[in-house]
Structure 1
Amino acid sequence: MTSLDPHAVASEWLNAFRSAVASADVDAFVNLFLPSGWLRDHLSFQWDLKSLRGHDNLKAYLSEQVDDRTRLARAGIHDVRLQMSSTLGPPIAFPIPSEPAEKGVQSAFEFGLIAPPALGRGLFRLVQDFNGNWKALAVSLILEDIKGHEESRDRPLGLFPDLSTYEEVKAKQLAAIDQDPTVLIIGAEQTGMMCAVRLRQLGVRALIIDKNPTVGHVWRNRYPNLTTQTTAHHCSMLYQPWPTTYPKYIGKDKVADFLEFYAKAQDLRIWLSSTTEDPPVYDQEKRRWKATVNRDGQKVYIEPSHIILAAGSGPANMPKVEGMSDFAGSVYHSDEHRGAAPFTGKRVLVVGSGNAAHDLCIDFVAKGASSVTMVQRGSTCVASANAVDKHVFGITFNEKYAIEDADFLSNSMPPGLGLEMAITSGTARFKAMDKDLFDGLTKAGLKLTWELTPGGGEVGFQGYTIALTTAGTMLDRGCGELIIDGKVKVKNGEIVRFEKGGVVFDDGRKADADVVVYATGYLSVLENIKSIFGESILDRIGAQIEGVDDGGEMRKAYRSTGQPGFWIGMGPFAHGRFFSKRLALQILADELGLSSVGHGKLQGTK
C-alpha cells in the first residue's frame, strides 16, 4: 500500500483549483468537489455568509450573472497558494470519521480577490472518490482583509511625531467617537466589546452604550457557581486572551473583572447607564440613524450609520402558573438566583434540565438543601465536559493553535456538513464515551435525546451547538453524578398549579416545596429588538432571528437583517470573536461603497 503524502495531494488539488478559478470555469471548479461536497463562502463571492451542498447548488451559485459575468469570474480569485506559516502547519492527513481506517487530507491556503479587492484564507478537506480521485468534501473561502484597509495586526509604536503622549492621542480618538460615531453598539458585554475592538482595528469609530452601571454587570449578577461553559482557550477575548494562570473554567466574578479591565485596556468608548430614548429612525436618503441616547440622565443626539444590537438574549422566560401568588415559599427565575445558602434545609424544585438547572442543583446540594428535585419538561441532550473537551476543544481548540487559527479551523467546517458528520459518526463517539453516564441518568429517570427533531438523525451535542447554540443541552460537570447518586431527584412533567405548600404536576401528582426556581432560559432577542426599535421593524427583518438557514449559517446574526444599517451580534465568546470580523468587514465595505454594487447579497435568505 502506497504511503500518503499530504503535501503532494494538497498541491495537486490546489493546482487544479488554481486553474479552474484562473479560467473562471464553473464546471471545472464544481468537479473538484464530491457530488455531495460543501462550499462555505464567507464574503468571498457576495457580502453574506453562505453554505451550499452538492454540484447543482454550487453550479447555480457560481454561474449566477453579476455585472454581466458569472459570480466566479467576477470574484477573480488569484494568487492561490498553500498557507504554511500559521500554527495549523502544513497539509496533514486526517481520519475520515465514518471510515476511521481511511484518511483524508486537509490544508489551509491563501488567495486574492479582484472584486472586491481583497485577501482571503481558505481550507479544503479532501477525500478519495470511488475511482481513487481526490475530491473536496468541503472548501471554505473566507474574506480576511479589504486591500488598503487591512486589519491592524502589528503592535502600535506608542510614540508620536508631534510629541503627544499616548493619553492625549487616546483622548482625541475617544472625543471623535463621542462626536460622530460610525457605529452604535448596544450592549457592553463580551460580544459588543469584541465588535467595537474589531471595528477600531479596521479604522471604524464605534461607540458602545449599556444600560447597566458597570461593564461585566450581567456576569457579576448571575448565580455564584456560574463559570464559562467551555474551556478558557475557546472563550478567549479578542486580542487579549485570558492569562495562563486562569483556570480552565473561569468563575463569573473573574470573568466580570476581566471584562472591566478589557474595556480599559482596549481603550473602548463606553457610555454606561445609557439607553436609547425613543426608537431610532433610519434615514434612507442619508443612510444614517437618528437616535437620542439618555447618557446617564443627559440626552445626546447622534447619527450613526450602523447600529449593532449586542444585548444577548431576550428577557427571562418566567412562566405564569395558576396559584403562584398563593405559594408560601420562594419562587423566582434562575436569573435572580444569588446563591443557595439562604435555603439550607429547604425542599427545592428546579424547573428545567439545561445548563442553568445543572448549576443550580449543584449549588442547592452543596449548601445543604434538604431535598433537590430537577423538574424535566422535555428530553435533554447531555454530554460530559470530559467528552466535549476530548472530541472538540482538545482537537480544534487545542492550545497549540493560536486562537485565530483555531477559530479559522473551526469555522472552515460548513455547519451543514458538521450536522451530517455528527449523525453518521460523531454522536456515536460521544455516546460510547459517556455510556456509563447516560445509563445512570436514564435509570434515574432523566429523559435523553440526541435528535433536534424526531426522526431527524442523532446530531447530539455538536448538532445542538450548531443549530441552537447549545439550547436544550446539559454539559455535565458534576450534576450527572448527583442525579445518579440520588442527591438530585428527577421529576418529569410540568407544574400546572401552585398551592400554599407545594405544587401540582400535569399528571395530578403533588410535591411539597419551599423553593421553586425556574431555570427556563430566556425569550427571543426579538423582544429586545422590539423594545428598542418598535414593532414596525419586524416588517423588514421578519420574526425569525435565532436559528440557522438552509445551509446551517446563523439566520440573522452577523449578516444582513433586512433593515439597512441594523446588525445583530449574539452567541458565545467564540461567535463574537470570529464573526465580529465578518460583521466589521460588511460594515467597512458599506462605508467604502463596495457593498452597493455587484458583490451584493442574494435575496430571499431563509
Structure 2
Amino acid sequence: MSDDPFPQQLPTLGRLGVGEPTLTSATEVAEVATAWFNTFSSAVASYDIAAILDLFLDDGFWKDTLALTWDFRTIEGRDAIRNLLDHRLAPTGFVDLRLSQEPFLAPQLLKLFPDLVLLRLSFEFGTKSLNDFPEQIGLLRRHTAEHGTWEERRCREVDLADGDPTVLVIGAGHSGLEVAARLKYLGVPHLVIEKKARVGDNWRDRYNALCLHTPVWHTQLPYIPFPPTWPVYSPARKLADWLEGYANYLELNVWTSSVITKTEWNDHLNTWTVEINRDGEDTRILKVKHLVFATGFGGHPKSPDIPGKEDFKGEVIHSSGFTSAANYIGKRAVVVGTCTSGM
C-alpha cells in the first residue's frame, strides 16, 4: 500500500462531478480561461495565498521551473503548495502576470479522453529583482562607434582580462549557448567552456547522415531566429555551423578544447574555485558564483560484454563511433539494439 497521502488521480469529469464542457468556440474558451486567470493573478498580486489555493484541487500540482525556487520542482497537494507560496511568493516578487495570446500558447480546450478534458493556458510574468536589469537589446543596445577597438575588446573579454566571470557554463551546445546569450545581454559576465575543438562539434562528430527529428520551431535560439528558408528538420552539420556562427555573432565568451580538472566550493565566500585546462596547455583558476551544467542528457557509450567478442575477426563498434555505411557495403552486419541508434 502506498504511503503517498495523495494517490495520483486524474481530474476526470466523473471525479469532478461535472458534465462535458459545452464550449464550442475559441472565444468561449478564452473567456473561461481569462476568468480563471484574472482570479489567479489578482490573488497573486495581493499575496492572498488562501485565494490562490482555492483554485487548486486538494491533490493539485504546482510545477516550478526556476521561477520561485532555484530548482526544477513539482509540488503536490495544497498543503505543500501553501508551504511553497508562504516562503517564496513575496520574496521573489512574482508580478505583472499576463495571459499569453500567441498562437501556440493561447487558451485551448484539450479532450484527452472521453472523460478527461483540460483547459490549457499560458502566461508570462516578471520578477521585481530583474526590473533594473533589462536586456541590452533594441534601444538599449551598444550605441558607441568602435573605431578599430572591437577586436581588442573581444580578445580581452574572451581572455577574462578584466576579471573572472560571475557564471561559468559547462558545455557549448544548444542549452549552454542559450544560457550564455541571455546572460550576455543581461550584463552578467559569463564564460562557456567546451571540451571539443569547435562549437558545434557535438553535432559534427556524429554519423554523416544525421538529421534532427525535432522541427525547427523547437530548436530556436534567443535573438537570432532561423531564417524562413531553414529546413524544418535540420541536417546535423548545418546546425553545427549555425551554432558556431551564433556564438561568434552574439560575442559569447567561449573556450573550446577546455575541461575542468578541479572544483571546490567555499562556504564563507559562496564561490566556486574552478581549475580549467585550456587547449591542453594553459591552466586557469577562476572564482565564480554560479556553475551551469549544460552537458546534455546522454552518458558514456555502453557496450554489452559479449563472451568471445575479443576473438571476433571483424569490426566491433558502438553506434557513437559509426559515421557512414560506405565501408560496409557488401558486408554482413549484426546490430545489437533496436532503439533510435540501432534503427
- What TM-score, normalized by structure 2, do the two folds share? 0.78
Q: Deviations over 1:386-440 (max 9, x none)?
A: xxxxxxxxxxxxxxxxxxxxxxxxxxxxxxxxxxxxxxxxxxxxxxxxxxxxxxx
Q: Distance in 2 between matches of 1:112 and 1:212?
A: 37
Q: Which of 205, 212, 231 in structure 2 is aligned with 1:228?
A: 212
Q: Distance in 2 between matches of 1:219 and 1:43?
A: 28
Structure 1 counterpart of 2:222, one-letter code? L
Q: Quote the residue 2:307 is aligned against.
A: 322
Structure 1 unaligned runs (5+)?
119-145, 359-606
Q: Which of 283, 293, 302 in structure 1 is aligned with 2:286?
A: 302
Q: Quote the residue 2:264 is aligned against.
A: 281
- Contact persistence 1:228–1:235 (CA under 8 A): no
Task: After TM superposition, give the deviation of residue 80 of structure 1 in Å.
Answer: 4.4
Task: After TM superposition, give the deviation of residue 330 of structure 1 in Å.
Answer: 0.7
Q: Quote the residue 1:437 is aligned against.
A: none
Q: Which of 110, 113, 119 in structure 2 is aligned with 1:98?
A: 113
Q: Quote the residue 1:217 is aligned against.
A: 201
Q: Distance in 1 between matches of 2:316 and 2:24?
A: 65
Q: Quote the residue 1:477 is aligned against.
A: none
Q: Distance in 1 between matches of 2:212 and 2:330?
A: 29
Structure 1 counterpart of 2:305, one-letter code? K
Q: Quote the residue 1:258 is aligned against.
A: 242
- What TM-score, normalized by structure 1, do the two folds share? 0.47
- Contact persistence 1:158–1:166 (CA under 8 A): no
Structure 2 counterpart of 1:244, one-letter code? P
Q: Distance in 1 between matches of 2:104 and 2:329?
A: 51
- Contact persistence 2:112–2:118 (CA under 8 A): no
Q: Quote the residue 1:52 is aligned against.
A: 75
Q: Distance in 1 between matches of 2:248 and 2:120?
A: 40
Q: Distance in 2 between matches of 1:97 and 1:31?
A: 25
Q: Quote the residue 1:126 is aligned against.
A: none
Q: Does residue 345 of the first structure (1) align with residue 330 of the second (2)?
A: yes
Q: Distance in 2 between matches of 1:77 and 1:264?
A: 34
Q: Does residue 241 of the first structure (1) align with residue 225 of the second (2)?
A: yes
Q: Quote the residue 2:276 is aligned against.
A: 293
- Contact persistence 1:151–1:201 (CA under 8 A): yes
Q: Distance in 1 between matches of 2:288 and 2:181?
A: 17
Q: Deviations over 1:249-279 (max 9, x none)?
A: 2222212222221221121222222223x32
Structure 2 unaligned runs (5+)?
1-21
Structure 1 counterpart of 2:263, one-letter code? P
Task: Please give the root-mean-square deviation of Cα atoms over the aligned residues, in Å.
Answer: 3.2
Q: Which of 33, 39, 46 in structure 2 is aligned with 1:10?
A: 33
Aligned pair in 2 of structure 1 residues 96, 34: CA closer, same or farther (>3 Å)? farther
SS at match of 2:216: coil
- What fraction of aligned residue pairs are identical, expressed as a percent? 34
Higher relative contact order (CA 8 A, sep 6+): 1
Q: Which of 63, 77, 88 in structure 2 is aligned with 1:40?
A: 63
Q: Distance in 2 between matches of 1:97 and 1:234?
A: 23
Q: Distance in 2 between matches of 1:47 and 1:216?
A: 29
Q: Deviations over 1:333-370 (max 9, x none)?
A: 11111211111111111111111112xxxxxxxxxxxx
- Contact persistence 1:187–1:309 (CA under 8 A): yes
Structure 2 counterpart of 1:344, one-letter code? I
Q: Which of 187, 192, 203 in structure 2 is aligned with 1:203?
A: 187
Task: After TM superposition, give the deviation of residue 327 of structure 1 in Å.
Answer: 0.1
Q: Distance in 2 between matches of 1:223 and 1:23?
A: 55
Aligned pair in 2 of structure 1 residues 55, 288: CA closer, same or farther (>3 Å)? closer
